[in-house]
């Protein structure tokens, strides 16, 4: 009698635990079917690698957005300088360095866009 009671109790406990893990098993089977991967460690490893890649992309995006903002500010400064030069009719001198040459070329391009 005790043996039957214990067996019944253990069977019910096992059934409850199996029901709890059915959702996990269904999810695993769905992932397995979608990815073609059967090893849980491999699935987790792949997921972690994708998360790392996503994080790196977010960092890159933030860096590029910061660079864009810096370039916009620099452009605004250059546009203001061009307007001031245009108002004062200041001739553009020959550049002394390559950087000055590039800067003057940029000013000339901006002049041509403004006209």
d(Cα 109, Cα 36) in Å, to the nearest integer?
55
pLDDT in tens, 62-86: 999 999 999 999 899 988 888 888 7
115 has pLDDT over 70: no
SS3 content of the chain, % helix, strand, coil (to 5): 85, 0, 15
Q: Measured in whole angstroms, how far is the alpha carbon of residue 52 from the centre of its chain?
A: 10
The pTM is what? 0.48
Task: Please provide the distance, in angstroms rounded to a whole number, between the alpha carbons at the two ends of the chain.
Answer: 102
pLDDT tier, 97 (very low <50, low <70, confident <90, very high otherwise): confident
Instruction: Report DSSP letters for 18-56, one per residue.
Output: HHHHHHHHHHHHHHHHHH----HHHHHHHHHHHHHHHHH
Q: Give me the phi and psi of 19, to 5 degrees please.
A: -65, -40
């Amino acid at each position: 009698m005790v043996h039957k009671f214990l067996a019944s109790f253990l069977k019910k406990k096992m059934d409850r635990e199996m029901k709890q893990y059915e959702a996990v098993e269904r999810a695993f089977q769905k992932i397995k079917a979608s990815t073609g991967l059967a090893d849980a460690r491999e699935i987790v490893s792949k997921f972690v690698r994708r998360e790392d890649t996503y994080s790196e992309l977010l960092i890159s995006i933030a860096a590029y957005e910061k660079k864009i903002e810096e370039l916009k500010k620099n452009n605004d400064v250059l546009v203001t300088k061009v307007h001031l030069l245009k108002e004062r009719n200041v001739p553009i001198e020959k550049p002394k360095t390559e950087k000055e040459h590039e800067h003057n070329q940029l000013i000339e391009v901006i002049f041509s866009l403004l006209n």
